[in-house]
Chains A and B, each alone.
Chain A
Amino acid sequence: MTTQPPETGNGEGGELWDLRLYVAGHTPKSVAAIANLQRLCEEHLAGKYRVEVVDLVANPQLARADQILAIPTLVRRLPVPMRKIIGDLSNSERVLVGLDLRPRPA
């Protein structure tokens, strides 16, 4: 699996956020998603997250195994329950809601 070297933060007492970002090649949307994700993680999950980027062009079989349809897709593997967020993550507000880092607007 081609992954970027995982940016590991040692969960200091807190839970570990295991995130996986699925992209397809080096497209503007992928680049934007990766940048947006890094920024959000540093802002909100500093020191307790791990991100793995999966390029489905190199590993197409993973699209099926992990039920991926849209690109980019961010999957919160941990903590459970699993969450799926699609898009280039440019709408920070919705990403935070999707990750359960912010309550859903009523």
Chain B
Amino acid sequence: MNQLVSPATVGLRKAPTGIAGLDEITGGGLPAGRPTLVCGSAGCGKTLLAMEFLVRGILDHGEPGVFMSFEERTEELAENVRSLGFDLEDLIERQQLVVDYVHVERSEIEETGEYDLEGLFLRLGWAIDSIGAKRVVLDTLEVLFGGLENQGILRAELRRLFRWLKEKGVTAIVTGERGDGALTRHGLEEYVSDCVILLDHRVTDQLSTRRLRVVKYRGSVHGTNEYPFLIDERGIEVLPITSLGLAHAASTERISSGIPELDEMLGGEGYYRGSSVLVSGRAGTGKTSLSAHFVDAACRRGERCVYFAFEESASQIVRNMRSIGLDLEPWMRQGLLEIHASRPTLHGLERHLVTMYKTIRTAMPRVVVVDPVTNFVNTGSVEQVGSMLVRLIDLLKTEEITALFTSLTQGGMDLESSEIGVSSLMDTWLLVRDTEANGARSRTLNVIKSRGMAHSSQVREFSFSDRGVRLVDASRGAAEAKPRIRRQA
């Protein structure tokens, strides 16, 4: 993946978190040898982010870590992250990780005069030195505010703690609970000035969305947006994909749309490799057929394809396409074609995006179809869908994957106003429409735009045969369609 912020432009040394996406946003990771504050309300994923930072540090960067937990016991922590594939017991066994549960309970403590938190320092210092730790997590220090009466001592000691962490040269994550009108309830941000990350968990319309924002990163450029993130079986995944970078290389290679006449309309050679194609039209105008042709052609070239279906099941698509002479099943059997069918309303937009993103990263296809992209409007606002598409397209372009999106135009809507306002993101825009003339219903197709090529401005008539979709010059009328097909067959 591209880095949004080039690490070369900053002098600060950074410690990669290993968390997918977060290192891109921060231009390489957290400030090395310094503390970072991660704050958010209960259940926002702070503990998990911190733990993943340690585990990835151990596994991917050879940096042992100490997790000092003020809330959860070692066994609870181990249990909670086991589902993400993190085996804490094993890391502890291998002396790569120390988990120290600090039990603080005010009712069990009587304060009788002057004290300091040297015990905490010694404890942490011993844990760090015992395994040569480079990373430390304190989750969450705010428990101390509830456990100790003398806030004056506590604040002085916290200040000393952060100084001490810096002197130790460990890269640390300190978590804090979100406060009313403040980043943290007890003002931890006062002590940690290098880097502050805010996590947020919102539920709108029963769909949950987690977001991450880098509030502050002293001495470093960083992405300032709110980035959605997910917690799934592999840990945390932040989606930094934005249209910030328009630096993807534009290919000059052309690939067939699967329909010779359509290729002809597209400067004679078809789509550009890595471009994004929008096919819009009303229900039943043949959008899925155009998609299937494109996929079929790609499979014939031996290219892998992923088809995201949000309206029909895989078997429905296969059956329907067979009726126009396209057999997709062999491609599926050969592993060249994956059809992923799901209901758009099943998940929030972000989860859809991440699922698609991960499928794409796993399958590494050359061609992707999203059919139809408009169904997402049911799950988010037009702006949200737009921003999701921007990020998806950005990924596809970066990977030089050619993508075809279908867009269902609702009856009564202006056909050329593609409803989610995505047409500007698309390189090629095909419009299919129904017309009724001389007592017969017919379909037409025209190329509204196609960047970087001399495309046809003709409106062609569009017909289905048992050998697939055929296009003829509409001005010649339907009568000529058949001989023309025969000629080409």
Chain A residues at the B interface, C-beta cutoff of 8 Å? 22, 24, 29, 32-33, 36, 56-57, 60-61, 63-64, 67-73, 83-91, 94-95, 97-98
Contact = CB atoms under 8 A, between A and B. Distances in A.
A63 B119 contact: yes
Contacts of A61: 126, 130
User: Is the contact region of chain B dominated by helix, strand, or loop, or is it mixed?
Assistant: mixed
B248 interface: no
Interface in B371-415: none
A90 B112 contact: yes
A94 B147 CA distance: 17
Interface stretch (B38-46, B50-58, B99-107, B255-263): B99-107
Task: Name the 3 nearest CB pairs between A and B, nearest first.
Answer: A98-B110, A60-B126, A87-B113
- Name, among B102, B123, B130, the residue most crowded by chain A CB atoms within 10 Å (CB to CB): B123
Contacts, number: 95
Given A67-B102, A67-B103, A83-B108, A24 B114 contact: no
B380 to A, nearest CB: 47
User: Is the contact region of chain A dominated by helix, strand, or loop, or is it mixed?
Assistant: mixed
Contacts of A72: 115
Contacts of A69: 102, 104, 117, 119-120, 123, 144
B116 A70 contact: yes
Nearest to B103: A67
A36 B104 CA distance: 25
Contacts of A94: 110-112
B118 interface: yes
B117 A87 contact: no
B49 interface: no
B115 A86 contact: yes
Interface of B: 100, 102-104, 108-120, 122-123, 125-127, 130, 144, 148
A70 B148 contact: yes
B115 A70 contact: yes
A60 B119 CA distance: 8
A63 B112 contact: no
B123 A87 contact: no
A56 B125 CA distance: 11
Given A69-B102, A70-B116, A71-B119, A63 B126 contact: yes
Contact of A86 (B103, B110, B122, B126): B110
A83 B119 CA distance: 17
A16 to B, nearest CB: 21
B100 A89 contact: no
B114 A85 contact: no
Contact of B112 (A24, A67, A71, A87): A87
Contacts of A71: 115-119
Contacts of B116: 29, 70-71
B114 A60 contact: no
Contacts of B112: 85-91, 94-95, 98
A62 to B, nearest CB: 9
A86 B118 contact: no
A36 B109 CA distance: 18
Contacts of A64: 100, 123, 126-127
Contacts of A98: 110, 112
A68 B120 CA distance: 7
A36 B130 CA distance: 34
- Name, among B100, B126, B127, the residue most crowded by chain A CB atoms within 10 Å (CB to CB): B126
Contacts of B117: 69-71
Nearest to B129: A60
Given A88-B112, A90-B113, A98-B110, 4 more contacts: A29-B114, A61-B126, A84-B110, A87-B113
A57 B122 CA distance: 7
Contacts of A87: 111-115
A64 B125 CA distance: 11
A29 B127 CA distance: 25
Contacts of A57: 122
10 contacts: A24-B119, A56-B118, A63-B126, A64-B100, A67-B103, A68-B123, A70-B116, A71-B118, A86-B110, A88-B115
- Name, among A60, A68, A83, A98, the residue most crowded by chain B CB atoms within 10 Å (CB to CB): A60
A94 B144 CA distance: 20
A84 B108 contact: yes
B113 A88 contact: yes
A49 to B, nearest CB: 17
A90 B115 CA distance: 11
B416 to A, nearest CB: 68
B111 A63 contact: no
Contact of B114 (A22, A73, A90): A90
Contacts of A89: 112-113
Contacts of B123: 60, 63-64, 68-69
